[in-house]
Amino acid sequence: MHFETPRHPARHWEPTSKPGRIQCNLCPRHCKMIEGQYGFCRVRGQADGALHTFNYGVSVSATLEYIETEAVYHYSPGARILSLGNIGCMMSCDFCQNWETSQVKHLNERVVRHYTPEQVVQTALDSGCGIISWTYNDPVVWHEFVLDTSLLAQKAGIKTLYKSAFYIEREPVDELLEVIDIFSLSLKSLDPAFYLKVSKAKLEPVLERIVQVHQSNRHLEVSQLLIPELNDADEDVHNTVNWVVENLGTEVPLHFVGFHPAYKYLSVERTSLESLLRARQHALDAGIQNCYLGNVYRDGVSDTNCASCDNLLVSRFGLTVQSSGLHEDGRCNQCGKQSSIQLPQSQPPENRTLLNPKTQRKLVWSGETNSIHVERPQADEGFTDVLIEHENGHREFFTLSNNLERAIVSRAGETDGAVTISWSDDSPLKILEVLDRAHFPVADNAELETTSNA
């Protein structure tokens, strides 16, 4: 580790037959370690003869996002969530979108924050978020902190969401099922050789754990990143769709997500819209009731329609959501059929405003830039109110503070050509480019240029 972090007792380990050596049983790697040695993830290791985690409470900045960010469309559409990601990972994908935090050897310690479970829950309450999301690099290696905080959130009436590639063993999943309400699980491919070569992992345990969650009746949605020249061929899509139909049924939502070149896989372009549309159509033809496209800013590719009368229940453009076709209990307001969407909620336009904004900047959506993080420096005391006014009339309002430094803002429609960002003080807010809705930008060169309207 390149930064000071307290160790915390870890779960799921046992001594081996060799003196002084222990085995971690959190993920299928079963790393064996001697004193002072870390496992594959670089955040779990042996100290004083026992397994400890060295990333307990270690996080990137807590971020205000929307539930659609996590490829979850059938649970409280449009809900604001509090997203947290840690460091380390049980995989090492060549195409990792968050390699700067998942791969500890590349970690910039300036992005590290420390939270207690109590701080996370209080931040969710203060910001009006009814859902805490464990996301970004992958929450598996944050197991102890996720359990402790999720249990506390449960007692406070806050739901929890788990976004993961799910390289984990059965017993830890049993623990998660006690405290996690929503699972958004990602498949890399249905090819075992792909997992071994590109992700340094095995496929079968991932499939087994996804089925385990499905059998628990917890809310489940599944996604797959379509990566050019790796897993976007028709045969790859066919295999994924068939596995979902045969093992999860046709009602579990399936998301195909666009890829942006990252980490070691920079030799290709972004996933083409044609590939994504073709994959979606294949899923629909195979009987999957709801298949969505992620990282695609286009009308009609992520809407939810009534299975009975085809009434538009939920319309989506990027992270902008309107649930105008649903009753509060989730029934279609045209034919009355119950949808599969849990806890639908109305998202009226934000009416709050800043009477005397001190600072104002304008950003033009262009090229690949369809989403940003607005970041407030951690060192600044107090809080900053931020008003977002989209060119097409959509408005958002949020407050940033020491415990909540970031919020996501995305293009709100095909006619939304620019966004104006106003805030209540002279804090030097940063505007960072988000290349993927699950991407956490950390590099200095992620900051975008804006024009001043002040």
State the pLDDT at residue 448.
Answer: 82
Per-residue model confidence (pLDDT) at position 148: 98
Phi, psi angle pair for 191, to nearest 5°: -105, 115
pLDDT digits (tens, 9 = 90+) for 274-283: 999 999 999 9
Q: What is the DSSP letter of 326?
A: B
Q: What is the largest CA-CA distance in the chain?
A: 69
Q: pLDDT tens digits for 266-320?
A: 999 999 999 999 999 999 999 999 999 999 999 999 999 999 999 999 999 989 9
Q: Which domains are assigned to the chain?
A: 8-53 (no CATH), 58-298 (3.20.20.70), 303-347 (no CATH), 359-452 (2.60.120)
The answer to whether 224 and 50 are in contact (CB under 8 A) is no
The pLDDT value given to residue 48: 94
According to DSSP, the β-strands at 291-294 and 254-258 are: parallel
Distance CA 296, CA 226 (A): 12
Predicted confidence (pLDDT) per residue in 124-158, tens digit? 999 999 999 999 999 999 999 999 999 999 999 99
Give residue 13's pLDDT.
Answer: 97
Report the candidate in 423, 444, 418 with the shortest Cα–Cα distance to residue 376. 423
For strands 371-375 and 430-433, give the pairing.
antiparallel
Residue 115 dihedral angles phi and psi, to the nearest 5°:
-125, 150
User: What residues contact 43, with CB distance under 8 A and at least 6 apart?
Assistant: 53, 54, 55, 58, 86, 87, 88, 104, 141
**pLDDT at position 379, please?**
66
Expressed in percent and rounded to 5, the helix, strand and coil fractions of the chain are: 20, 30, 50
Residue type, 430: K
Give the model confidence (pLDDT) of 360-384 as tens digits: 999 999 877 899 999 998 767 789 9
Please give the Cα distance from 328 to 324 (Å, whole number): 10
Stretches where the chain sits below pLDDT 70 are 1-5, 346-351, 355, 379, 444-445, 453-454
| 77/436 Cα distance (integer angstroms) | 19
Give me the phi and psi of 131, to 5 degrees please. -140, 130
Q: How would you classify the pairing of strands 320-322 and 22-24?
A: unpaired
The confidence score (pLDDT) of residue 454 equals 47
Residue 175 class from Cβ within 10 Å (0-12 exposed, 13-18 middle, 19+ buried)? middle
